[in-house]
Amino acid sequence: MNKCPVCGSSRVFRSKCRGTLERFRRQFTSKRPYRCHACDYRWWTMDASGTLSPKDVVLAATTPPDLSAIDAALDESTKKASTASQAPTA
């Protein structure tokens, strides 16, 4: 929740449940209690920090990163290491 529905203040926070009925409501719905610091108004609304469902995730068509530069650097370092180990010792 970004703003209080009464005064419009952005100083809102999640409130604690008061009593058994509110705890029961919180357990079986996706609404949570909020309170405004400015006007002390308390209300229930959808949880702003809610969890994502598979419907919420948008799958974007992305191309995989180009890792050819890393592969080339690894190949070169492997070649240097193998030539250094094969060099004749004096």
Tell me whether residue 35 is in a domain.
yes
Alpha helices, H only, the chain: 20-28, 68-86
Tell me whether residue 65 is in a domain.
yes
Tell me whether residue 32 is in a domain.
yes
Tell me whether residue 21 is in a domain.
yes
Q: Which residue has the tokens 């070649």?
A: 79
Tell me whether residue 62 is in a domain.
yes
Tell me whether residue 26 is in a domain.
yes
Question: How far, in Å, CA of 14 to CA of 37, rounded?
Answer: 11
For residue 49, the enclosing domain spans 12-83
- Summarize pLDDT for 56-67 with one digit per residue, the tens: 566 666 677 788
Tell me whether residue 88 is in a domain.
no
Question: How far, in Å, CA of 67 to CA of 86, rounded?
Answer: 29
Which parts of the chain sit beneath pLDDT 50?
none
- Structural domain count, the chain: 1
